[in-house]
Every structure is written in structure tokens, then in C-alpha cells.
Structure 1
Amino acid sequence: MRDKILRWESILLLLVVAVFAWGWQSTPGFAEADNLSFLLLDYTEVALLALALLPIILTGQIDLSVASILGFCSALTGVLWNAGMAFETIVPLVLAAGAVLGSLNAALIVRFGLPALAVTIGTLGLYRGLAYVVLGDGAVTGFPDSYRPFATGTAGGTFLPYATLLVLVIAVLAAVVVHHTPIGRSLYAVGLGEQTARFSGIRVDRLRFGLYVVSGVLCAIASLVYTLRYNSARADNAYGMELIAVAAVLLGGVSIFGGRGTVVGVGSALLLMAGLRNVLFLNDVTNEIQNVINGLLLIISVLVPVVAGLLRRRRHPAAAAATEQPPQQTLPDPVAASTAHGSPEEDQR
């Protein structure tokens, strides 16, 4: 029972309750339906990018180009709309573009064996630059009113936005895949040890390739929501949002080295950051101070597991050493095995 109470996800949920209680008590208008809708909408795209990053980081990799893919897909949406294309046709084309950009990341990382950090830092600039090439510095507006409610409206007269329902559906699907399917078990296995996962028969390269493609598609979905929500397609849309998404994933308890983390933890971190940002916004705290707080949250999210590990090693040095250095298992030597058991010809004789 104590372990469950002290789990990071439980601590995050308590912090979420504390922040929302603080906002309700100290900030006029915080608990109003319109503000709660704004709070949830404000982090819709961040949540989609975080869900795109979650399985990638579970395998010990990273994708820093997610916000740039969003920006390129938003720019592409504007260009196609300006060209007179129907929005129903634009949506699948934008989703396909996101998949292509994700595939390029995957090809460089998986096929050529390049470091994910270096590749996605490069494509972060590349995709953002391509967005400016496609659309320029201007903005495209005037998207169809029939679609905008899906990005700005609420369901059934409640405070729950349609975009948040979309995030919840994707989060539930992610939770099922990550925590209840062989694919999810493979994610954790690869994050804990890539070579061991390969020896276990997991197709690591295929798995990682698929993750980057799915990440690109989720970024494209986020771009459509972002573009419709602000009624503006720009090349600089979501600039810098990748850092907020990474902070949410790491604050949610996902290890930057892979192999540990949950969808519930990431969801709790997103609610915590959204609630804190909303309270600060209502109290007229500047964006610069909010950026400082986001940076501190990112540092804390990385520091807490390290400190917890140090404390655990100090309290139980023998158990920690046994956990960190498991007995090495060697593969059987085929030559020695054939010497011990005899060759097939000798067995037949």
C-alpha cells in the first residue's frame, strides 16, 4: 500500500488536486466553465505531441522535431486552402505529409543508424525551414466555420471541448497499446536493453520505424487542431512547443533513458502543467516567468528519479547493487555444445 501511495503517478495526482484547489480558492473565475474549457484547449496540442513522444522515449529514443512537423503541416494546410482545395481533401493529405516527415526521421535513425537526438535536432530546423519555404512569413485565415467547432466548441453544452475528447480517445488507445499489448511490452523491453530485446526476437528496427511514423501522424492531427483553433495557418505555429511536450512526458515519470513510464503519469503531468499555467495566466504572470517555471519543471522531472535512485542505493546498497548489476547470462557456445554432445554424424552412429 505504501509503495502505491509513494508512486510518482500518485504524487502527481495529489499535486493536480492541490493546484486546482489553489486556483479555485485564490483566483476568481478559475472554476468557471469557460475558463476550464480554455484551460483544457490550451494544452490540446501539447497533449497530442506528448502522446507522440511517449512510446518513442519509452524505447530510449527522442523526437525533437514534433513541433516543427506541426508547423510544416499547418503551413501546408494554409497553402492547400489558398489553392481552393476542399478541407475534406486537405485533411488526408496533411496526415500523409506528417507520416512522410516521420518516415524521414525513422529512415535516418533506423536505416542509417544515426543518433536520434542529432537527427531530430536537424529535422527540427529542416521542417521549420520548409514550412517557411512553403508558406512564407504570412498567414492564411478564413477556414470553414463548419469545422472550427471541432477545435473550439464544447460537447453537449458542457465545459469539455471536442478537441479534449479527441485527446482522451487517443490517450485511451495509447494506454491500451502501451500497457496491455505485446507491442507495449516490446517498448519497455527495448528501453531496458536493446540487445536483449533483439535476442528475444523483438524486431526493434521495425518497431522504432513505426513509432516515428505514428508520431508524424499525431503531429499532423495536432496541426489541424491548432490551425482551426486559432483560424490561422502560419509557418511559426507551435514554435518551441517541443520543449513543453518533452517536459510533460518527463514530468509524468517517463525515464529519459527508456523502459519506465505510464500514460496515466503523462496525463497527470499535462493536467498539472495546464492548471498551473492557467492560474499564473489569470494572475497576470508574464510569459517569461511561465517559461522559467516550465524549465524548472523539466529539470525537476529529470532530477527526481536520479535523487530517488541515490537515496535507494544509500538505504539498501546490497539490493541496489543486485538490481543494477544482474547476473550476466551468456549464450551457449555452439562449438562447445557440439564438443560436449557430439556431432550429428556421431549421434547417428
Structure 2
Amino acid sequence: MATIVKTPSGSWKAVIRKTGWPTTAKTFRTKRDAQDWSRRTEDEMVRGVYIQRSASERMTLEAALKRYLADITPNKKLSTRKSERGKATKLVEHLGKYSLVALTPDLIANYRDTRLNSIGRRGSPISSNTVRLELALLGHLYTVAIQEWGLGLTYNPVQNIRKPSPGEGRDRRLSADEEKRLFTVLRQHSNPMLTWIARIALETGMRSSEILTLTRSQVDVKRRVVRLTDTKNNEARLVPLTIAATDTFKQALNNPVRPLDCDLIFFGEPGRDGQRGPYAYTKLWNQAKKKAGLNDFRFHDLRHEAVSRLVEAGLSDQEVAAISGHKSMQMLRRYTHLRAEDLVIKLDRI
């Protein structure tokens, strides 16, 4: 039987001492609330389904995300760490003061709808994929809290709401004239690494993170292959090189200004620790594409273009996936956009 006493502050404290269970106590505003909680909790203990919820009632989402970013995020890839910090900022801004147990599906659904109707920093609506990834982070936080942190949560509220669709894949292709203008501008830059990086992306379909972290030992120009070990999906793969890609790598490998102690092919200036990280190309790339009149073109679109060209060249889906690293044919199709005029020419050959 629970003990219920009135505290000096006027609230009511219920204390449950039951054999086989740790002493459990909770304070309420009214005696009736204390009695109701006591009966409900003792009943759960008798049925063997009682869960200690005090930790999840005390921990706010802001505190939980701080712990997640400290314990879980550092085990992920560098690019993922950076993006998760940004997603966590938005979640804290809207939901940070709620305790984990207080966040219900309707509150999270309201967050989803609010974000989908928001305008981003660049003046465009927040994409459904951005919101989907924010909810994915929140959902995984609850999974970790339930399975590893032992916070006494009974369910994951994110699982009970509708997730935004990832949206249609971009269909931005690069015309021959645009390619000529772009690389004319890129070659005007004093550092040739900017041109080399863009050319390799267009010829191989590799992601920027895969290109920037390449070391000299990963590139075999004789066999014309690149061995990737640190990929987005954590699966190593060999990327075959076109003649143009091979020539570009030869130039990059023979870069006369590479320091003797640096193994990166595309290297930046030394940091505060004296170590060189990957080449920081983003600002220069944005300037170059605007100068070339390609404001709506993204660096990642080079990967789209490369994959589409591989399909147009007659490679099978399996062959293209082996080169690009796509794990599913569904995702590969999102990245592949064939020009309708090219298909018309092929139809005429039938």
C-alpha cells in the first residue's frame, strides 16, 4: 500500500514500497492525483509491466539531443555529424523544452507541418526531404533512449506519424554548352584542383566527400581504377576510370605543390593543429558557377549527370550501380534522368 503525505509546501507526495521493486515516489498537486497514480503504479507492478518513467519525465528534448550529439553522432561520418547538428538546432528551437515523455505524436505532427510551411534562409520553402531527415534524427534518438539509455519510455512517438515523402529527384542535366562554359571558368582559377575535382565528379559519378578524401594509394592509374573505402553507405567499391578521368588523376597526382608529408590528392591549407584537411572548394565553386551563368546548378548535379551518361552509354543498371555505389535500383532511378531527345533518336533506330 502506498504512503501519501502532505509536504510543507502544500503538495502531496506518494511513496510506494513493494517487495521486488525499488522504492518509487512522486509529488502531486492534489491528494486525488497522488492516490490515482499510486493505484495505477501498484497495479502495473502486480502485472509486471511497470516502467520507471521519472528519467524520461525529467529529461527535456534539448538535453537528450545534447547527449545524443555527444555520445552517438561522433561515431558517424564527418558530413553526417555536421548535418545532425543543424537538424538538432531546429528540433530544439521548436520542441526543446518538452520532456521526452511529454512529446506526443500530435505535437511532432504539428512540428512537421510547421516546418513544411516554413521558408528557409535562401527564401525558398523547406523541402519535404529536409523535414523527413529531421524526423529521422528525432526517431533514432527515441530508439536509442529506449534501447540503450533506459529512460523508461514506453514507445517511440515518431513511429506513429506520417513522414513527408523524399520528393522527386532533381532532373537538372548539363548541356554541352553549359559544360564548356563551366570548365572555361573553372580553368581560370589559379588553383587547378578546383577543375580537377569537378572533372572527376563528372567522369566518375563519385560524391564530393569521396573525391575530397582520396589519398594517393587509392588511385591506380595503370589499372584505371579508384578504390573507395569511406563511402556513404559504408560499402567499399572499385570505380573504373574513363580516359579523361585517368588523365585528370595523373595531373593531380603529379601536383608539384603537394607537401611531402601530405597523402591527400586534394589538400587544403594547414589548420590550427598544423594538419592539412581536404581542399575547401565550396565557395570557389559557387563563384565559378555563377560566373558561368549556372546559378541553379549544384555540385552534386555532376554526379546526376555522370550516372545519366553511363545509362545513356548502354551500361546496365547493375553495372551503373556498381560504379556509383547506389544500393537500390529505386534510388538509382532517382539519380538517372535521360534526355527525351536522345530517346527519340534511339526510337528511330528500331
Please give the TM-score of this superposition, normalised by the length of structure 1.
0.21
Q: Which has the higher contact order (CA 8 A, sep 6+)?
A: 1
Kindly name which structure, 1 or 2, has the bigger radius of gyration based on alpha carbons.
2
Please give the TM-score of this superposition, normalised by the length of structure 2.
0.21
Structure ranking higher in helix proportion: 1
Structure ranking higher in strand proportion: 2
